[in-house]
Chain A
Amino acid sequence: AQSVTQLDSQVPVFEEAPVELRCNYSSSVSVYLFWYVQYPNQGLQLLLKYLSGSTLVESINGFEAEFNKSQTSFHLRKPSVHISDTAEYFCAVSAQGAQKLVFGQGTRLTINP
């Protein structure tokens, strides 16, 4: 079975500041890793994913995440945040060969002007 721990339930930052949202996972088998974003009253949208290959993956809106197998982590970073990044962010894992996603508790990112 897989599990995901998001270490921060809320992260407040100022606009244009850097941010890191932390995610650790546990699994006895090889996994795929995902970050989803959820804006108020909406469903989840895929932000980025790690399947294989380069451990650093990037999204189109400036976020990046690095897969660290030894530390079982997949932290999400952005060098400069914008007000529009205010949302809830979920880290998720699925076992390779299975489609079921296991989500973390979520991190609420709040951007202050």
Chain B
Amino acid sequence: EAGVAQSPRYKIIEKRQSVAFWCNPISGHATLYWYQQILGQGPKLLIQFQNNGVVDDSQLPKDRFSAERLKGVDSTLKIQPAKLEDSAVYLCASSRQGDNQPQHFGDGTRLSIL
């Protein structure tokens, strides 16, 4: 089966600009996650979707970050405006619905803020 697809792989922007990332999960996976991985740290969950509804966005900085999964398949994560501390790798993952289902990760988007 095809894995989780993310684009772009790399993005460089200046602070205060906007940026968007795209994720296509594995077919049939109802749950989709966005993680932020700052250099030298483990991934931190930003938002979790179940189909097109938000399950957990408690660690999403809502003043500048937004995410949507309108049709319950693809998802986009947006940052507006970007700050220097947003430099990180943004990972998308997906899983089947249900307890203890393994999460499958994409290769991530590396964001650099100048």
Interface residues of A (CB under 8 A from B): 4, 9, 32, 36, 41-46, 49, 51, 90, 92, 94, 96-106
Contacts and interface: CB of A to CB of B under 8 A. Distances in A.
Interface residues of B, number: 26
B26 interface: no
A105 B103 contact: no
Contact of B41 (A51, A100, A102, A105): A105
Interface string B29-60: 00101000000111111001000000110000
Contacts, number: 59
Contacts of A49: 100, 102
A44 B40 contact: no
23 contacts: A42-B107, A42-B108, A43-B4, A43-B105, A43-B107, A44-B93, A44-B105, A46-B103, A46-B104, A49-B100, A49-B102, A90-B43, A96-B99, A96-B100, A98-B99, A99-B55, A99-B95, A100-B45, A100-B48, A101-B103, A103-B44, A105-B40, A106-B42
B17 to A, nearest CB: 24
Contacts of A42: 107-108
Contacts of A46: 102-104
B91 interface: yes
Interface centre among A43, A97, A102 (most CB of B within 10 A): A43
Nearest to B107: A43
B18 to A, nearest CB: 24
A43 B91 contact: yes
Most buried by B among A92, A94, A102, A103: A103
B107 A101 contact: no
